[in-house]
Structure 1
Amino acid sequence: MSESAKQRATGRHQREQEARQVVDDIQLDRKRRDGRIGLGLLIAAVVLAVAAQWLFTALKPTDPAIVAAPDPALAENRTWTGTLTLNHDVTLEIEITGDTAPQAAANFIALSQSHFYDNTPCHRLTTEGIYVLQCGDPTGTGSGGPGYQFGPLENVPEDGVYRTGTIAMARAQAPDSMGSQFFIVYEDSPLPAPGYTVFGRVTGGMDQLQTKIVDSGVEQGIASPTDGPPAQPVTITGIELQ
């Protein structure tokens, strides 16, 4: 082969290599670009999924689905009757007075019907000076509630004495700080002004409350031997009203 033919063959071979390199570079660049697009799509999908999950969580209804004190009209301006069961074996017959305490009665009725009180503890028993069993706090700490507060006070005893069987709303210092907590009076108790809303009474079963819960006293080893968690743990296991 002549020298010129060799040169032409070498040049052709070099050009073929350069052409293959260009093709390889194009394919590599395409793969990288496709990879970036795929990664971008994956990231976008993850972000979308997280956003969808956040939206779903944010839009989940509260439990219970009561976010403010219910309309007093729910109490129907009448007396409701039913039962309040503690620990499955203490059944109290109760009356809820929608005519004299419509706002508190409507609140208790709505929370009961939504099963808010189911399996909540009665966290406080007092055995000196005042005689009450306090219930309705889902946290069992004395500071929990339904997520809202209401007032004003209703049906407060004029003489400041809360008779045996009274069911009244507990509250913080402010008169309009009622929520879900209530107390049952098991022995006549004087309470200071401005008082507490009386919205019902126990009409039967007080003897069971006394013997199965109150007589056990307050849990030992706490700051006060007469005011604290019941020694016999107490849980609301059912409320029926009609």
Structure 2
Amino acid sequence: MALGVYRSKIEADNLEETLPTKKTLKTIDAAAKARAADYAAQQKQQEMRKVRNSRDNRIALIASAGAVVLALVLQLGYFGFGPGSVTPNPTASSSANSALVPSPALAEGRTWSGSIEINGKPLTVEIDGANAPQAAANFLSLANSGFYSGNTCHRLVTEGIYVLQCGDPNGDGTGDPGYKWGPIENAPADDSYKTGVLAMARQSGDGSTMGSQFFIVYEDSVIPSDAAGGYTVFGKITGDLSAIDDVIAGGVEGGGTDGKPAVEAKISAISLK
């Protein structure tokens, strides 16, 4: 055999020894595919984690914002005694009131004094006919007609703000004297309602939805204004609040912070002069 041919055979034999077999190639290919699939799976898991984290962050932000909005809505709606949504009407005036609404002239622009009896115990009061003539005239007219006698105070709030709400003939926050009126009068500019204040309840966002419901502030409270403004202050308790001490101490029925008083608070009579 010629040297060149022999040398070429040796090189070919050596090359065959260094080249992988078909079985080895298949094994290598399978391993490579497995590694590629594993890498792709890891990449997909990472992408899914990123998506989940992003989604969770959005949900957390939405939940946090929702909690803030809910808290604000609840606070602004403490005195919204009517059902359903209300269109704000901050420019309402007494000229829009029906003929059923007592004339502001009945308040005579002066201070009225007397008492509100709750559970047979008197709260001495003053009604401000000078600064809140429409509210004072309405309260005087309803009181003198006996409208309030026998009504219960249906709502007690014991957290955030501190009020006892009364004057609903239905006893559940839905009643009125058969009419509604406005506008808002004598609301504090700083939204601060001092202990003993008497103020009118109304639907949130509407200054022309006052009727017969009012609230007694039994501890200093900041009650935020809404789109319509604040709440009409028409008088105050001039003595102590001992007549409702047991009602306040009893808290809310069921242990909540806003609802029906656990101890009944019934208006026995109202006398003013």
Match of residue 74 from structure 1: 106
Amino acid in structure 1 at the alignment position of 2:265:
V
SS at match of 2:238: strand
Instruction: Tell me how far 1:175 sits from its aligned partner.
Output: 0.8
Q: Which amino acid aligns with 1:164?
A: T
Asked if residue 185 in structure 1 is aligned to residue 217 in structure 2, the reply is: yes
Where does residue 35 of structure 1 map in the other structure?
none
Local SS of the residue matching 1:73: helix
Is 1:121 aligned to 2:121, yes or no? Answer: no
Q: Which structure 1 residue ranges, 5 or more long, are not aligned?
A: 1-65
Residues 147-162 of structure 1 mapped to structure 2, 5 A cutoff: 147-162=178-193
Find the aligned partners of 1:192 and 1:147 in 2 and give their Cα distance: 28
Q: What SS is found at the alignment partner of 2:102?
A: coil
1:229 to 241, 260, 264: 260
* Matched residue type, 1:120: N
In 2: Cα distance, 1:197 partner to 1:116 partner: 20
- Which TM-score applies when normalising by structure 2? 0.62
Q: Determine the C-alpha separation between the residues in 2 that align with 1:180 and 1:189.
A: 22
Corresponding residue pairs, total: 172
Give ranges in structure 2 of 5+ residues lacking alignment: 1-97
Determine the C-alpha separation between the residues in 2 that align with 1:130 and 1:68: 32
**Structure 2 residue aligned with 1:214:** 248
> In the alignment, what sits opposite 1:165?
196
Cα RMSD between the aligned structures?
1.3
Q: What SS does the corresponding residue of 1:213 show, helix, strand or coil?
A: helix
2:130 equivalent to 1:130: no
How many angstroms does 1:220 deviate by? 1.2
TM-score (norm 1): 0.69
Q: Is the 8 A contact 2:177 2:212 kept in 1?
A: yes
Indicate conservation of the 8 Å contact 1:67/1:148, yes or no. no
Query: What residue is the counterpart of 2:124 in the other structure?
Result: 93
Aligned residue number for residue 54 of structure 1? none
Letter in 2 for 1:203: T
Q: Which amino acid aligns with 1:207?
A: S
2:141 corresponds in structure 1 to 110
Listed one character per residue, the Cα deviations across residues 81-120 of structure 1 (whole Å, up to 9, x for unaligned) are: 00000111x2100000000000000000000000000101
CA distance in 1 between counterparts of 2:99 and 2:201 reads: 19
User: Runs of 4 or more off by more than 3 Å in structure 1?
Assistant: none
Percent identity between matched residues is 55
What aligned pairs does 1:41-56 form with structure 2 within 5 A after superposition? none
Cα offset for 1:67? 6.6
| Shift, 1:205, TM fit | 3.1
